[in-house]
Structure 1
Amino acid sequence: MSSRVYHVPQGGLPPQTDLLGGRAVFTNAYAVIPSGVQRDIVVSHLPHWDDTRVWVLARPLSGFAETFSHYLMDIAPGGGSDMPEPDDDAEGALFVAGGKLVLEVAGRERELRPGGFAYVPPGCVWRIRNRGPGPAQLHWIRKLYQRVPGLSAPEAILTNEDSIEPVAMPGTEGRWATTRFIDPADMRHDMHINVVTFEPGGTIPFEETHVMEHGLYVLEGKAVYRLNRDWVEVEAGDYMWLRAFCPQACYAGGPGRFRYLLYKDVNRHMNLRQGPPLI
């Protein structure tokens, strides 16, 4: 069994005596959604999902996310869905942060505990249920799959973070490493989902400025992040969206590790024409 602990939202509402000020930031280059705003009053509900509430952390929107949506789901015992995905062209990535869920995909059934990951190809039939005694928390990232002539769609992936050896970034002696759920050399995939880990004091030592759009959910620890022209403090439970080419860097604040779940779009030509509406 994994001993890892991932942040899960607490919901509820703050007391009336709390100050109104917070750390939320929304710009056309980046956004920060702090853990403290993931409250009961802002949950959503989805068709064909039973006993499930959803915090929508990112969605395609003018001036916001362009390639993906990111849901953080809280699934009560017995809850889940037999018809989770309404769009046959959508692919999905699932990451379990708390509790246990039973996933059926591509004819296989697997219990997913914290750290569990699944990639669901477009058009694949899948079901998911919480058969445990307590609530379960699930990250669900959705994207319209970009098909390429001569390349088939990828098959389903079922694994756990504990089963994957992190890859240290060159020259960092392991202070900065990525756990890669999807093979970066597999050109069939048009998105990557990683867990990025920084040991205390570890850094991204330059301002990355690149074409990949990012969604980052902080699973553990705290850091100071450089986003465009600003330095922003982030901690477990915070979510960051970074537009393509938004300058970014960070250093882990300690005393423990800083870890986040990362989405990025990859491996495709730049779209020169207006495409279909994104999810």
Structure 2
Amino acid sequence: MYKISEFAKMSGLPQSKVRFYEKNGLLKVRKDINGYRYFTRWDAFRVNAFRVLLQYGFTVEKAISMLDERQSGELFVNSLEDKKEELQKQIDLMHSRMKKLEAVISLLKEGYENKFEIVDMEDYLYVLASNGIDFGISVENGNVIAQFAELLSITSYARIIMMDELLNRNVTINPSYASAIPISREHLLGKYDKSKVKKLKLGKCIRYYRNETREGSEKLDSFNELFNFLEKNNYKINGDVLLLPTFLNLDGKGIDIEVLYVPIKN
């Protein structure tokens, strides 16, 4: 038997950590006839097994529950494979976040060479948080919106501008707010309610960098540069537009930088 001070030294755990793990069920509280805590070598083995699970990335709660369950080799492999999949998703998120950071840093430091470029874009999937300025649909779509939000950096908070609104030349444009993901990354969502998700066909697009104030961004005349470029090059809008905020002035008073992907045909 080992007193808490001895067990702390042999396990490399501070006494406060020993008490924490007692409280959370990793270690069982045992007391001698004088009321002092004591531990055994089996507790040390349990701590070592627990640390191995932490090395694999399991949470404290999950690791303790795994120690308390009857684990066959097959079940343990399944747990490790699930953890591997989870970690790979986190790695993908970090890589995507790094790319976005590098892109916006470059944009803010160096600007962009061409305001308009022709690019080939893969299709996107999106779930609506609003229809224009009506956010009522977000209640209906809440669970799927949350799934998209968990993948933030692979997914994007976007706005969808309906082609008809641009073609009808309304005085104001009312984009719908959405969460969007490239269709090639759909597998990262896992299972979701596909009835809540729409597909945005892009293909050949104008990538249009736009600088605009928050207040002016939804006025039709803020798209005049785009209309002029379309007319000059004999392009026609061929679908709904994906708008991705790139830099937002936090006080809302300066100029925001947005990138728009406008599907086109000749």
Both structures adopt the same fold (TM-score exceeding 0.5)? no
TM bucket normalised to smaller: under 0.3
Q: Which has the higher helix share?
A: 2
TM-score, normalisation: structure 1: 0.21
TM-score, normalisation: structure 2: 0.22
Higher RCO (C-alpha 8 Å, min separation 6): 1
- Bigger CA radius of gyration: 2
